[in-house]
Chains A and B, each alone.
Chain A
């Protein structure tokens, strides 16, 4: 649905996007991550034709944007981080305008549907200037969905919502995805990416440093894992033996529970069980702490980025 090849944008001496190859499949939710200034927004603007690339090509629905500008644009819905609305219009007038612009059929019903989705139908006759920030964000989502886009490009879709609003929006997006809508989500709330996205791309200094499934990325980003083992008949010998194992980096004991920090390159649970049983212990519970993507992302250092970049190029 979305494909870029060698996409590059230079602003004088600054390379904002550098030789970017993206590929978003039909029906998937694609997360777009990167620190501020990484080039995410520039990339989105180039996808929408609002910034002209210095080099490279873009295909949306398998076509170059210039081939069929208006029809391609009609099939895309975009929700930006900031909610720029014509504040002198009522919600209904605004949606009617966009509906006409996108050629939406049965506009009255559609307005009712999308405003119903975001729970704003009862306020359709009010001027948008009087809406709160959260209402504006939900209303913007309604506008984005109005023309039933096949591709949704969302920039920080839940940034100004309360937890209830976040859940509401997330449910709507997942429902849209279930109906077949492809989504590209750029967000700094990584939990959202993690909960909604099938694949994630990480961009840094204009370069794509990683593009993978959530699990794959998580694996790439985590070098060690944490394991909690509860042992009946825990002895010092068992603790010492565990400490001697080559994949164990450190451990701590709390009652019958041993917390182990260990290499994440393999699944060592069998090795741990065998060693404990050999020394007379009984394993009551063994849990691995799953590191969230957010935890992983906040640990991204220059080193990690380099690591991901190296892996990316090796692949």
Chain B
């Protein structure tokens, strides 16, 4: 039996391990060779070997942080992109080298960056899905402080850039005027100060001229327009290739393209308890329940998320790092995708009834000395002297809750009253008085007590020594 079992395990291992190895990115030998190569390169301190290659430079859509690119080098035959999103792509000729320290392919764009002219043809088998021409685009940062960008295509992008350019020029002009006014203001103040010193008479407050207001720069930022192929496809498997103006496929440009979509849409919350402002955490999954003890004040900072396969997502963002995402084919993760609009409200429900509606508001965190927490969180008011010339610390929903029993539900609704998918969460307050603990430990003993009773009853059926046959 043991021999048979051992044989079966051996058979499974002989099948499983080679299968797994065959799909693994690197064999142990390759890893050893890799490390050796790395060692040699580091010890020689020489430049890595560069090779001229035709590569695809890809700027995949990655939510509000778009702009980070990757490259698909010669030996990578598959590119991954998110479905129904604006992904940017170009075919270029450059020098590529492998940098063993960070284990990634790098392109020497500074020395060689030749755009391959032509169209990008997208096929599914023999069927041509699309033939793309390069389009103009800009990166548009609505608000530079947030670092969140969007891609705006075509004339709209150009217009945004021109508007931004004009606004910046205007800002520089206003700024110049401001600095001049400021200088003049200082000279007036100096004159008043001298007068006071000479006459020893104070000047009434309303006679002191007000300082000129500092101009505010445009809140956004727009990059200068550039061109790329805009790949926005539904999920599926495709093939891409560059074709020249004669319709001929440019050698070395054919690659597979996997376009993938999210498994779920959701809303994540950054949860910041008022009492532990610096210890915050996130809730991504609608199946997560928020637990409180007693009455608690906390802030929820929401943002849109989508759940993607981690392998595909990593490959889309980091194709130049071949190890990235390996071993994560069965893993799923939440990716931040969009900011929540200001007019979205948070509803608190009890037994399906809305009991409270919380607006999305800006808040300001005032650092304090001596106060127990070291800070006070205020609702933002730019006219409040504490917050004068300051921006809000954050935007969010303030909740002040206690759940005496059962649960509350929270969810986000937009201006039209639609519930944002994945925004619902359950909120509960725990109970933990001594009676609760007693019950918690005593209830599990019910089966045991019953078992003892059954056992004793059953034992009585055992014949006792010396039992006489009944008549």
Contact = CB atoms under 8 A, between A and B. Distances in A.
Interface of A: 88, 90, 119, 122-123, 125-127, 129-131
A122 B471 contact: yes
A131 B462 CA distance: 9
A117 to B, nearest CB: 15
A2 to B, nearest CB: 35
Given A123-B470, A127-B461, 18 more contacts: A88-B458, A90-B461, A119-B469, A122-B470, A122-B471, A123-B463, A123-B467, A123-B469, A125-B461, A126-B461, A126-B462, A126-B463, A126-B467, A127-B458, A127-B463, A129-B462, A130-B462, A131-B463
Interface string B442-462: 000000000000000010011
Residue among B462, B463, B469, B471 with the highest chain A CB neighbour number at 10 A: B463
A88 B471 CA distance: 25
Contacts of A88: 458
Contacts of B471: 122
Contacts of A127: 458, 461-463
A92 to B, nearest CB: 10
B110 to A, nearest CB: 79
Contacts of A125: 461
23 contacts: A88-B458, A90-B461, A119-B469, A122-B469, A122-B470, A122-B471, A123-B463, A123-B467, A123-B469, A123-B470, A125-B461, A126-B461, A126-B462, A126-B463, A126-B467, A127-B458, A127-B461, A127-B462, A127-B463, A129-B462, A130-B462, A130-B463, A131-B463
Nearest to A89: B461
A127 B464 CA distance: 10
A58 B7 CA distance: 38
Nearest to B468: A122
Contacts of B463: 123, 126-127, 130-131
Contacts of A129: 462
Contacts of A126: 461-463, 467
A126 B467 CA distance: 11
Contacts of B461: 90, 125-127
A31 to B, nearest CB: 33
Interface string B57-101: 000000000000000000000000000000000000000000000
A123 B468 CA distance: 10
A35 to B, nearest CB: 31
A31 B461 CA distance: 39
A1 B421 CA distance: 76
A18 to B, nearest CB: 30
A129 B459 CA distance: 11
Contacts of B458: 88, 127
Contacts of A130: 462-463
Nearest to B459: A127
Contacts of A122: 469-471
Contacts of A131: 463
A125 B457 CA distance: 12
Nearest to B471: A122
A125 B462 CA distance: 9
B185 to A, nearest CB: 101
A297 to B, nearest CB: 37
Nearest to A131: B463
Nearest to A88: B458
B467 to A, nearest CB: 8
A90 B461 CA distance: 8
Nearest to B469: A122
A40 B190 CA distance: 128
A185 to B, nearest CB: 29
A127 B458 CA distance: 9
A125 B470 CA distance: 12
Contacts of A90: 461
A6 B21 CA distance: 56
A127 B461 CA distance: 6
A119 B471 CA distance: 11
B126 to A, nearest CB: 58
Nearest to B465: A130
A127 B463 CA distance: 7
A139 to B, nearest CB: 12
B461 to A, nearest CB: 5
Residue among B461, B470, B471 with the highest chain A CB neighbour number at 10 A: B461
Nearest to A120: B469
